[in-house]
C-alpha cells in the first residue's frame, strides 16, 4: 500500500456559477494525507487538498457533500477530534474552523500555520503551532492565546497490531492512525496515503479512494458500468470502488488504451501492445511479431481491427489474430502527434500539417497548418465525417467526405485538447474551457470563477455522461 503515486478521490461539488456558465463539478485530489482523528462516530482525514471522512456506520470514505462540508482546497494541518470532545476543529492554511451541527464549518480564527502538538480536556483544546500557541475554550466558544492543557505530538505512530500490505503481505510503515469503537479505523502510511483497517484483520482494506497517475492518458468504460483510468498507472472503477491493482511492468510504461472485442488493450513504451485482464498484463504483440517498434505511441480501434502508431510508421492487426501484423506503408508518419481512423481513412496530425490517407498508404489529402489558419497544430477531434483541428490561432473544421472547410469563429486562441459530445465542442485553452454549440456557434467559457480547479485546462475525456476536464491544478466534471 506504500506507493508513490498521485491519488484522486471522487468529490462532487456544487459550484455557484453565473448564468452564462454551466455547472462545474470537481474532483478533489490529494498527494499527502496530513492527519486523522476520530470522534467515535467518524474518522476525519485531513489532506493537502481538503477533508475526507470515514463514516463508521457505513464503513466507507465520504468524498462528496454540500459545498464547504469537506473544506475543499484547504491544506489541512490538523484535525482536533476525540470521543470526549463536543467539538471538531480543523486547522488549515486558510484559518481555524469548527464543525457545526449541519456539517458545515465556521471560521473561528486566522491560520496559525502547521500544528506540531495538541492536547485537550473536557473544557479546552490547546495547540502548539508554528504561528503560536492557542486554546479553544469549549464552554465559551472563544479562542485565546497560550496553552492551558498539556500537549503532545499530533501523530500517534502505528497501532499495536502490525497492519499488512494486501499486495505484498509486508508490514506497512504507519505514521498515524485513528480508530472507532467497533474496531475499524484509518491509518496514514509513511508516504502519506490513507488506508482503512479493521482490528479483526491484519490486512488493510484497499477500497479507499480513486487512483490516477500524474498523466491521465485514457478513460474508458467497461461492459459492466465501470471505467478504466489509464495514466502513469492503471485503475478500475467498479461498483463505486477502485481496484488499486499494480502491475510492475506497467508502472510508468503506459501510453494509451482502447477497448476492442470486449477487452482492454494497452499501448506501452517498451512492451508493445497487450491485453489487461483480471489483474495482469499479457503482452500480445511485439517486434518479434512484426511491429515496427515496441514503443506504441497511440492506439485506435475500428471494430475488431486495431491500429498502432509508432515513430517508424503504423501497424494494424485483427484482435482475433493479433500475431498477424500488417504494416501500412507510404504515409508521411514522422513526428505524428495524434492519429485517428474512420471508414477506410487514416488521419494523421503533425505540428505543421494534416494528412488524410487510405489504409493502403495512399495520401488522399494534405493540409498545411497555414491553410488551417494556424502556425502549428495541437489537437483534433472528429464528429462523423467532420474533423475539428485546433492550433495556436483557433479551430478549423474540415469535412472528410465533401472536402469543405471553415473556421469556428467562437474561439481564436490556442487550443490544447478538444472533445465533441452531444452537439457541443469542448475546447481546452490556457484561459478556460470553451463549450461551443456546433449548430449555432454560441459559446460559454468556464474558468476558475465558475468552479474549475484552474482556468488553464489541458486534457478532456468523456466520463459517465460528463466531460472530465484535467486542469493544471486538478480535475473537474462538466455536466
Q: What global pTM score does this model have?
A: 0.67
- pLDDT for 241 equals 56
Q: Which CATH number fits domain 28-198: 3.40.190, 3.30.420, 2.110.10, 1.10.1760?
A: 2.110.10
- pLDDT for 213 equals 42
C-alpha pair distances (Å), 311 with each of 244, 298, 331: 32, 10, 12
User: Which DSSP state fits 3?
Assistant: -
Residue ranges of the chain whose pLDDT lies below 70: 1-31, 63-67, 167, 206-214, 239-246, 330-333, 473-474
Which residue, chain included where needed, has cell 464547504? 68
User: Which DSSP state fits 130?
Assistant: T
User: 354, 313 in Cβ contact below 8 A?
Assistant: no
Which residue, chain included where needed, has cell 485483427? 318
Nearest in space to 75 (alpha carbons), one of 145, 130, 28: 28
Sheet holding 115-120, edge to edge: 142-145, 132-137, 124-129, 115-120, 152-153
User: Which residues are bridge partners to 189 per DSSP?
Assistant: 174
- pLDDT for 287 equals 95
Q: How far is Cα 47 from Cα 34, in angstroms, rounded to an integer?
A: 5
User: 119, 77 in Cβ contact below 8 A?
Assistant: no
- pLDDT for 67 equals 63
How many of the other CB atoms lie within 10 Å of CB of 223? 8
- pLDDT for 145 equals 96
CATH class for domain 218-478?
Answer: mainly beta
How many of the other CB atoms lie within 10 Å of CB of 434? 23
- pLDDT for 22 equals 34
- pLDDT for 147 equals 97
Q: How far is Cα 404 from Cα 464, in angstroms, rounded to an integer?
A: 33
Cell digits of residue 441 = 456557434
- pLDDT for 299 equals 95
Instruction: Please tell me whether residue 104 adopts helix, strand or coil conformation.
Output: coil
- pLDDT for 443 equals 94
Instruction: Please tell me whether residue 248 adopts helix, strand or coil conformation.
Output: helix
- ∠ CA(378), CA(384), CA(355), 5° rounding? 45
Instruction: Please tell me whether residue 250 adopts helix, strand or coil conformation.
Output: helix
DSSP percent split of the chain into helix, strand, coil, nearest 5: 5, 50, 50
Q: What is the DSSP track for 288-325?
A: GGT-S-S---EEEEETTEEEEEETTEEEEEETTSTTS-
Distance of CA 358 to the CA centre of its chain: 36
Q: How far is Cα 175 from Cα 165, in angstroms, rounded to an integer?
A: 15
- pLDDT for 64 equals 57
**Domain spans of the chain?**
28-198, 218-478
- pLDDT for 471 equals 84
User: 431, 447 in Cβ contact below 8 A?
Assistant: yes
User: 419, 467 in Cβ contact below 8 A?
Assistant: yes
- pLDDT for 337 equals 84
Q: How far apart are the first and last CA of the chain?
A: 33
Return the HEC string of 365-405. EEEECHHHCCCCEEEEEEECCEEEEEECCEEEEEECCCCCE
Contact partners, residue 145, CB within 8 Å, separation at least 6: 132, 133, 134, 135
Sheet holding 105-109, edge to edge: 76-80, 89-92, 95-99, 105-109
Amino acid at each position: 500500500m506504500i506507493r508513490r503515486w498521485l491519488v484522486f478521490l471522487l468529490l462532487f461539488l456544487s459550484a455557484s456559477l453565473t448564468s452564462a456558465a454551466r455547472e462545474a463539478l470537481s474532483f478533489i485530489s490529494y498527494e499527502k494525507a496530513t492527519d486523522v482523528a476520530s470522534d467515535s462516530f467518524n474518522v476525519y482525514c485531513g489532506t493537502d487538498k481538503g477533508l475526507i471522512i470515514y463514516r463508521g456506520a457505513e464503513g466507507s470514505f465520504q468524498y462528496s457533500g454540500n459545498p464547504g462540508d469537506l473544506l475543499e482546497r484547504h491544506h489541512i494541518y490538523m484535525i482536533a477530534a476525540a470521543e470526549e470532545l463536543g467539538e471538531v476543529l480543523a486547522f488549515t492554511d486558510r484559518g481555524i474552523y469548527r464543525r457545526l451541527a449541519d456539517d458545515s464549518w465556521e471560521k473561528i480564527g486566522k491560520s496559525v500555520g502547521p500544528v506540531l502538538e495538541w492536547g485537550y480536556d473536557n473544557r479546552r483544546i490547546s495547540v502548539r503551532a508554528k504561528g503560536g500557541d492557542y486554546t479553544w475554550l469549549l464552554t465559551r466558544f472563544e479562542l485565546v492565546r497560550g496553552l492551558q492543557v498539556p500537549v503532545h505530538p499530533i501523530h500517534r505512530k502505528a497501532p499495536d497490531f502490525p497492519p499488512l500490505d494486501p499486495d505484498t503481505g509486508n508490514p506497512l510503515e504507519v505514521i498515524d492512525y485513528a480508530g472507532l469503537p467497533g474496531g475499524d479505523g484509518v491509518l496514514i502510511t509513511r508516504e502519506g496515503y490513507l488506508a482503512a483497517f479493521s482490528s479483526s484483520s491484519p490486512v488493510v482494506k484497499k477500497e479507499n479512494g480513486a487512483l490516477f497517475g500524474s498523466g491521465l492518458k485514457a478513460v474508458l468504460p467497461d461492459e459492466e458500468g465501470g471505467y478504466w483510468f489509464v495514466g502513469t498507472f492503471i485503475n478500475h472503477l467498479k461498483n463505486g470502488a477502485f481496484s488499486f491493482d499494480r502491475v510492475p511492468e506497467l508502472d510508468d510504461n503506459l501510453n494509451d488504451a482502447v477497448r476492442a472485442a470486449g477487452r482492454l488493450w494497452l499501448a506501452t513504451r517498451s512492451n508493445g501492445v497487450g491485453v489487461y485482464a483480471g489483474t495482469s498484463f499479457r503482452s500480445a504483440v511485439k517486434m518479434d511479431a512484426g511491429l515496427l517498434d515496441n514503443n506504441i505511441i497511440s492506439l485506435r480501434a475500428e471494430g475488431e481491427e486495431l491500429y498502432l502508431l509508432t515513430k517508424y510508421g503504423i501497424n494494424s492487426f485483427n484482435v482475433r489474430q493479433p500475431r498477424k501484423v500488417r504494416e501500412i506503408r507510404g504515409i508521411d508518419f514522422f513526428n505524428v502527434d495524434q492519429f485517428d481512423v474512420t471508414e477506410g481513412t487514416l488521419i494523421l496530425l503533425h505540428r505543421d500539417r494534416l494528412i488524410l490517407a487510405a489504409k493502403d498508404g495512399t495520401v488522399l489529402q494534405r493540409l498545411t497548418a497555414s491553410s488551417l489558419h494556424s502556425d502549428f497544430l495541437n489537437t483534433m477531434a472528429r464528429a462523423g465525417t467532420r474533423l475539428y483541428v485546433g492550433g495556436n490561432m483557433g479551430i478549423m473544421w474540415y469535412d472528410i467526405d465533401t472536402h469543405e472547410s471553415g473556421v469556428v469563429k467562437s474561439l481564436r486562441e490556442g487550443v490544447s485538447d478538444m472533445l465533441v459530445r452531444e452537439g457541443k465542442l469542448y475546447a481546452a485553452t490556457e484561459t478556460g474551457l470553451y463549450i461551443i454549440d456546433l449548430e449555432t456557434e454560441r459559446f460559454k467559457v468556464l474558468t476558475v470563477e465558475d468552479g474549475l480547479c484552474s482556468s488553464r485546462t489541458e486534457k478532456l475525456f468523456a466520463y459517465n455522461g460528463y466531460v472530465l476536464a484535467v486542469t493544471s491544478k486538478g480535475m473537474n466534471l462538466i455536466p
